[in-house]
Structure 1
Amino acid sequence: MTETSGTGAVAPPGSRPPWHRTIAPRVFWPAAVIIVGFVLFTVAFPTLVGDTISAVQEAVIGTFSWYYMLIVSGFVLFAIWVGLSHYGDIKLGPDEEEPEFGLRSWFSMLFAAGMGIGLVFWGVAEPLNHFAGIPNRATGITQDEQGAQDSIVQTFLHWGLHPWAVYVVVGLALAYAIHRKKRPVSIRYALESLLGRRIRGWIGDLIDIAAIVGTLFGVATSLGLGVIQVAAGLDFLNVVSDPGNLTYVVLIGAITSLAVVSVITGLKRGIRWLSNFNISLAGVLLLFVLILGPTLFIFRDLVQSIGDYFQNLLRMSFNTTAYEGESGTEWQGWWTTFYWGWWISWAPFVGVFIARISRGRTVREFVAGVLLVPTAITFLWFTVFGGTALYRQLFGEGGLIGTDETGANTVDTEGALFGLLEGLPGGTIMAVGAVILIVLFFVTSSDSGSLVVDMLASGGDPNPPTWSRVFWGVMEGAVAIALLLAGGLSALQLAAILIALPFSVVMLGMCVSIWRDFRAERRTMLRVQRRLQRQEITEHVTHSLIDEGLVEPNGSAGRAKDQVPEQS
């Protein structure tokens, strides 16, 4: 089969169109200009950008933290409602089609989507940071048993149902558009029932541009976190000392180069092998800490923390720290508001992935699988790593929380995982494995992220050209470098919050679009059912009348037995 170019000329069989015709120019170029412009300006004026970020931070977080809390909690309620409603029977694909992947494979891939650099980075660090002084802000009591419990539950909030409800909204809207309505892989088509033909114009272009920029900054945030932790691991292993910006830039350049090589070679088997190896290595690390750590305590803590989480879920979901002044606003920016922004910026990437693997599933299966499976895994992960760290701090030798010159509690956020592993037998070997794990997560996340971004920038082409995937992969590394130069971890966090703001509006539109699509399909289905029921009732009554001799088989009225024929 031959391909035609945009001018109507026939391309030779087996050839691809010219490079400039493999992209959607109204989406690709604006997104590329925004990203490249940000990188160049930040590298040229890192201090200015850093000062601007600091100046904007308080205003943005103080203004929009309530908004993020409200909409993400709304996404949880929306996802649960859709899954439990009569819309749950709708198939994400043709009605007669079976799921593309078996249940075990589907769950495994959802597990893979739930794992990432973020879990490795925050698995120990977040519970310890909360325990160091955050959970009991109302009482002022910290570093006690209740504070430890609260720190795990607060972490569960950030990594449990809420992020996956965000992914449910985007993934469900895309899966319905792609598999049910046969639309291209493009964010704009998830809003088709809301915007109509306008999605094919400049409004649709803006939607895809926002998705590309948001996804790229979200992935870059994860890559920045990963590189910071890799540098801390190399410092722990005495490979480098006192890592700084130069170390971060070199590491990002080296690891991004590996990701680019994986794109160029196109070795799908190799990428699949790396992904499977990632999951296996993460599982080994989890079992290592579970077995050599306080195993019985971990299982008890898991059960107790899950109960505490669901008991306090509603209260925590809407807690905006309104009565805690500037300290409450600062805390929101470091934690809950940052996480909600981060998940929203990741939503196009993860949404496309889970939509792709969910063809043939019902809406109810989709919601239940996406909400429950990754949530259960992350609960286990944080209980094993965070629970072990808290146990050592409370009942063991401690050493994971220090103090600064003012006497305030401090946590080595970047090196917390390695500090935990150091206290376990064979911890140095596991530290090497952890560094390898983060690097491989970097490579696979960059490659997959660049593929998703490239599909959006190529008008929904599921097999975009290699050159543009390389371009977006390089841009992910460049944005991570720029953010680290502009302010390190705080710049990464604020970027996620800011970039997520426009796409959050798109997600609200997706909720409306899903409801309108499902309602229209439900009405059509009910009309068909009523018509079939009427036909069935009519046929049943007709057969009954025929059996009783009141109607002839040809449909004419029968004659009663005692009726006398009319004389001519």
Structure 2
Amino acid sequence: MGMTDHGTDREPGHGAPPGNEEGRPRTDWVVYGISAVLALALIFWGAVWTDNLSTVAQNALDWLLTNVGWMFVLAATGFVVFSLWLAVSKYGRIPLGQEGDEPEFRTVSWIAMMFSAGMGIGLMFFGMAEPLEHFVNPPPRTDAPQSEAAVETSMATTLFHWSLHPWAIYAVLGLAIGYGHFRRGRKQLISSAFAPLFPKGRGEGPAGKIIDILALFATLFGSAASLGIGALQIRTGMQEAGWIETLGTSVLVMIIVVLTICFILSAVSGVAKGVQWLSNINMVLALILAVFIFLVGPTVFMLQLIPTSIGVYIQDFGQMASRSGATGGRPMEKFLSNWTIFYWAWWISWAPFVGMFLARISRGRTIRQFVAGVIVVPSVVSLLWFAVFGGVAIRDQQNGKNPYGDGSPEEITFNVLSDLPWAGITAVVVMILVAIFFVSGADVSSIVMGTLSQRGSTHPTRWMVIFWGAVTGAVAAIMLVIGGDEALNGIQNITFIGSLPFTIVLIVLCVALAKDLRDDPMMRRQRKGEEVLEDAVVTGVREHRGDFELALRPSSNDTAADGEDAFDADPFDRDVGKS
């Protein structure tokens, strides 16, 4: 999956479409320097004082969950409400581009690219593990373990984590970047989306640099979390296939090194078609695997899960969105930290990367089309995916084969596959899928970090991409090492802590986007038209006692001059006529 762009570093200018004028990338030494120093300091800390970093991270996580965990819970649902409101409101017809621009990609291709951008590696890792975990150990204060009711709760909880909420987070950032870049002509930087809140409408200066640093760090931790999760699953798959005997940390580090080298080579090669080709192969492999499991697994049970999951998800939405330690105590806090809040942190950390990619491929779409495509389509794919993969895992557990084992998420997938035909082949396919999903996505995330480091350049220099690729691998290794035997815990702790500041950025971004849209030329024309029409009606009622009609006619030269004075402040407003 490659990412190209028509964008440039033009200053905002009446929404002029960005051209193709980008010159040699210029490094922002403040953004890059501060981010690089802090990232390298974290790596050094984890390498030299591993136990100390692990203790500090755990203590910080405990404090944050107790004191600000509520903000993650509220913010995630707030993003869903905000994005859906934009779609159904009058702002929904505003295009991401100039009026009259046609969508750059056909709808089918647009949807396919959206799916490849989002969460392929997560779907592979948690596709069977999460529904089975919630079936065996339901969320606190819900149902009895492994009961019939627990099936419904497990599927509803899984969909809660993987449908509307993550894609609404991506949609908010994608809308802000796409609107500012294609309609307002701003730089392709996160800070540029805050232009309406800054003096003179520019997202530059110290505040803008802080925003880009936080976005860069969020992307770094999100990519590292994906790399760590992928390494865990590949290591387990290698053991299941008999390729390795132990599951030591050294094996994880070797896998991370190999994957890091692969995605760095992919990112700097410039062979976008090759990466896209690999991504397409991966999508076909994922579809084949899903169809195979659907046919050899409990097919009717999977189909029955689809309407059941939708109904229970809608029914329990309010309850799931309001879960907090206030009502569930310590067990609820542990559940939230391991699942809900971890997911919200992970999705938020991926928002800069996925949001920029979604913005790039959505030029010419209206806000309504964007929100519908970005939220609804992937949510349907997630529903079908978890009905198949989660359904086969739950039914396997109900049949007494215990694929849950000791509860290790990275082992559950291979435990389930071992109970199906062709287990050796499917295990290898899963490892290939995880590896390519990561390589085809991480190359773009390293380019995004280069973009943020080099003033919005869509083609950052190779050394910059290589640097952030290597740092991503190192941070992933530190995440896994500080987790010790529970490697996933280390990933969850660092991801949450690293994503918290960017959560605040996203909340403020919603304010900036709302202000930007309210001042959109299309909205100004609409308000002006309403004012002109209202004035005309009032005048007609007063002067003609309601017996009048409105007509359009050419204005006189004097009136035309007055109209130019009134509307030349913004060329978009010239479409407004006089009655």
TM-score, normalization: structure 1? 0.88
Paired residues of 1:73 and 1:318 also in contact (CA < 8 A) = no
Partner residue of 1:442 out of 434, 438, 442: 438
Structure 1 portions without partners, runs of 5+: 1-13, 403-409, 545-568
Paired residues of 1:61 and 1:333 also in contact (CA < 8 A) = yes
Instruction: Tell me what 2:339 maps to.
Output: 335
Residues 166-204 of structure 1, C-alpha deviation per residue, up to 9 Å, x if partnerless? 111111111111111111110001111122346210100
Over 3 Å counting, the alpha-carbon distance change for 1:541 and 1:479 in structure 2 is: closer
Partner residue of 1:112 out of 111, 116, 119: 116
Size of the aligned set, in residue pairs, is 520
Map of 1:414-433 to 2, 5 A cutoff? 414-433=410-429
Instruction: Tell me what 1:549 maps to.
Output: none
Paired residues of 1:132 and 1:143 also in contact (CA < 8 A) = yes
Deviation at 1:333, TM superposition (A): 0.6
Map of 1:320-331 to 2, 5 A cutoff? 320-331=324-335
Paired residues of 1:22 and 1:465 also in contact (CA < 8 A) = no
Distance 2:47 2:205 in 1: 34
User: 2:146 aligned with 1:138, yes or no?
Assistant: no
Deviation at 1:392, TM superposition (A): 1.4
Partner SS, residue 203 of structure 2: helix
Map of 1:452-491 to 2, 5 A cutoff? 452-487=448-483, 488-491=487-490
Partner SS, residue 100 of structure 1: coil
Over 3 Å counting, the alpha-carbon distance change for 1:340 and 1:543 in structure 2 is: closer
Partner SS, residue 409 of structure 2: coil
Paired residues of 1:483 and 1:492 also in contact (CA < 8 A) = yes
Over 3 Å counting, the alpha-carbon distance change for 1:189 and 1:425 in structure 2 is: same
Partner residue of 2:257 out of 253, 257, 265: 253
Instruction: Tell me what 1:557 maps to.
Output: none
Map of 1:193-232 to 2, 5 A cutoff? 193-197=196-200, 199-232=203-236
Distance 1:541 1:422 in 2: 76
Over 3 Å counting, the alpha-carbon distance change for 1:299 and 1:227 in structure 2 is: same
Paired residues of 2:138 and 2:144 also in contact (CA < 8 A) = no
Distance 1:16 1:170 in 2: 26
Distance 1:540 1:88 in 2: 29
Q: What fraction of aligned residue pairs are identical, expressed as a percent?
A: 37
Instruction: Tell me what 1:41 maps to.
Output: 45
Map of 1:132-531 to 2, 5 A cutoff? 132-135=136-139, 137-138=140-141, 141-197=144-200, 199-394=203-398, 396-402=399-405, 410-487=406-483, 488-521=487-520, 522-527=522-527, 529=529
Over 3 Å counting, the alpha-carbon distance change for 1:541 and 1:423 in structure 2 is: closer
Over 3 Å counting, the alpha-carbon distance change for 1:183 and 1:15 in structure 2 is: closer
Paired residues of 1:194 and 1:509 also in contact (CA < 8 A) = no
Deviation at 1:332, TM superposition (A): 0.9
Over 3 Å counting, the alpha-carbon distance change for 1:514 and 1:264 in structure 2 is: closer
Residues 118-158 of structure 1, C-alpha deviation per residue, up to 9 Å, x if partnerless? 111111111111122223x3266211111122111111111
Structure 2 portions without partners, runs of 5+: 1-20, 541-547, 555-579
What's the C-alpha RMSD, in Å, of the aligned pairs? Answer: 2.3
Deviation at 1:352, TM superposition (A): 0.3
Distance 2:435 2:180 in 1: 34
Partner SS, residue 414 of structure 1: helix
Which structure has the greater CA radius of gyration? 1
Residues 103-126 of structure 1, C-alpha deviation per residue, up to 9 Å, x if partnerless? 111111112123421111111111
Over 3 Å counting, the alpha-carbon distance change for 1:94 and 1:63 in structure 2 is: same
Partner SS, residue 459 of structure 1: coil
User: 2:118 aligned with 1:100, yes or no?
Assistant: no
Distance 1:201 1:543 in 2: 49
Distance 1:105 1:339 in 2: 27
Query: Could you list the runs of 4 or more consecutive aligned residues of structure 1 that deviate by over 6 angstroms after TM superposition?
Result: 531-535, 537-540
Distance 2:238 2:131 in 1: 23
TM-score, normalization: structure 2? 0.86
Instruction: Tell me what 2:545 maps to.
Output: none
User: 2:27 aligned with 1:23, yes or no?
Assistant: yes
Distance 1:502 1:349 in 2: 16
Deviation at 1:269, TM superposition (A): 1.3
Deviation at 1:412, TM superposition (A): 2.5
Distance 2:199 2:26 in 1: 25
Residues 303-355 of structure 1, C-alpha deviation per residue, up to 9 Å, x if partnerless? 11111111211221112142222111111110111111111111111100101
Residues 223-282 of structure 1, C-alpha deviation per residue, up to 9 Å, x if partnerless? 100000100000110101221210011110011111122223221111111111111111
Over 3 Å counting, the alpha-carbon distance change for 1:263 and 1:138 in structure 2 is: closer
Paired residues of 2:267 and 2:446 also in contact (CA < 8 A) = no
Partner SS, residue 399 of structure 1: coil
Partner SS, residue 128 of structure 2: helix
Instruction: Tell me what 1:565 maps to.
Output: none
Paired residues of 1:114 and 1:378 also in contact (CA < 8 A) = no
Over 3 Å counting, the alpha-carbon distance change for 1:249 and 1:300 in structure 2 is: same
State the AA in 1 paired with 2:395: Y
Distance 1:499 1:194 in 2: 25
